[in-house]
């Protein structure tokens, strides 16, 4: 997915401003150098407090932070920055031992995570995705309190349709009052992962096969079911994405993100459909229905 922007003046587009926070000098320098080479304007901090001070001065469009830092750790920095601007994407850098904290961070509004050691190609992919999702916003509309809206879509398995689908769901969420002006970026990420899985692993990018989405929204709850036309798979054979280093593998990453961000996630019996639930207000944990 890519943005197409008209530029009448012929001047280059403004550089995206990114804040990097990591107490490891070598990691920090590598990230700054790589992102700068990608055309980003990057500032760096050696701890969470320094990062927060910079954020209070400069209008950053994205934050990348280590979880474990002195003075102010990554989770504290997340809460502070989301308190100042909840729409700024926040990406964590995490190690194997940080899995419980990664889950806590995603529940608290983090937009994605990167595994240590950071793969630069994955870094570029995650940064582009976070910036794109942050730019995908629903138009402000009259909110209809206590209303329910069900949106049904059937689309060919083409990646360029994913952003339009996310925009439609976000639009519906605003209509019923679930979101004040737009869906949180990490909710969009969960939808992107589910849609990508359906198109890629279910339908194998066959444009003749459709992905069906049903979004059932009220002011308090978002329920999305996504189903492909593939043969499905044995859900019981799915590896636990939170077990060991499985969350850092490409195969387990999407399921891990969906489970960490949403309140409930389960698959249908055939294994070609997934349902995800996110309540607007905190609720008691639901039974594990992954194996549905």
Cα separation, 20 vs 64, whole angstroms: 5
Cα separation, 31 vs 44, whole angstroms: 9
Query: For residues 198 and 228, is the Cβ–Cβ distance under 8 A?
Result: yes
The enclosing H or E element of 121 equals helix 120-135
- Lowest-pLDDT range, 1-15, 27-41, 69-83, 248-262? 1-15
Q: What domains are defined for the chain?
A: 17-135 (3.40.50.2300), 149-279 (3.30.565.10)
Question: Which of 4-8, 31-35, 114-118, 179-183 shows the highest mean pLDDT?
Answer: 31-35
Q: What is the mean pLDDT of the chain?
A: 84
Average pLDDT over residues 20-39: 93
Query: For residues 20 and 64, is the Cβ–Cβ distance under 8 A?
Result: yes
Average pLDDT over residues 48-74: 92
Which residue from 92, 58, 62 is spatially nearest to 74, judged by alpha carbons? 92
pLDDT, tens digit (0-9, with 9 covering 90-100), for 225-248: 999 999 988 777 766 655 555 555
Cα dist from 110 to 7, 73, 130, 257, whole Å: 32, 14, 10, 11
Beta strands 90-94 and 210-217: pairing type? unpaired
pLDDT, tens digit (0-9, with 9 covering 90-100), for 134-150: 876 655 555 555 688 89
The verdict on whether omega for the bond into residue 117 sits within 30 degrees of 0, i.e. cis, is: yes
């Amino acid at each position: 997915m890519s943005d197409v922007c008209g530029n009448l003046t012929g001047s280059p587009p403004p550089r995206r401003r990114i804040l990097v926070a990591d107490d490891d000098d070598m990691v920090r320098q590598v990230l700054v150098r790589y992102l700068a080479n990608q055309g980003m304007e990057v500032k760096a901090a050696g701890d969470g407090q320094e990062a927060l001070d910079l954020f209070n001065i400069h209008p950053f469009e994205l934050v990348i932070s280590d979880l474990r830092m002195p003075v102010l750790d990554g989770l504290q920095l997340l809460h502070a920055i989301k308190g100042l601007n909840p729409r700024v994407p926040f990406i964590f850098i995490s190690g194997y031992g940080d899995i419980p904290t990664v889950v806590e961070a995603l529940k608290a509004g983090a937009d994605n995570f990167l595994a240590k050691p950071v793969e630069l190609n994955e870094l570029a992919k995650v940064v582009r995705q976070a910036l794109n999702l942050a730019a995908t916003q629903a138009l402000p509309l009259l909110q209809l309190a206590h209303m329910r809206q069900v949106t049904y879509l059937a689309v060919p398995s083409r990646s360029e349709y994913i952003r339009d689908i996310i925009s439609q769901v976000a639009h519906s969420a605003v209509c019923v009052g679930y979101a004040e002006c737009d869906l949180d970026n990490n909710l969009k990420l969960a939808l992107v992962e589910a849609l990508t899985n359906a198109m890629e692993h279910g339908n194998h990018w066959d444009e003749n096969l459709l992905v069906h989405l049903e979004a059932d929204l009220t002011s308090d709850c978002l329920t999305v079911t996504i189903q492909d036309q593939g043969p499905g798979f044995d859900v019981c054979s799915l590896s636990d994405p939170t077990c060991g280093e499985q969350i850092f593998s490409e195969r387990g990453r999407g399921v891990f993100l969906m489970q960490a961000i949403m309140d409930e996630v389960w698959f249908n019996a055939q294994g070609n459909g997934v349902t995800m639930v996110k309540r607007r207000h905190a609720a008691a944990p639901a039974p594990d229905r992954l194996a549905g």
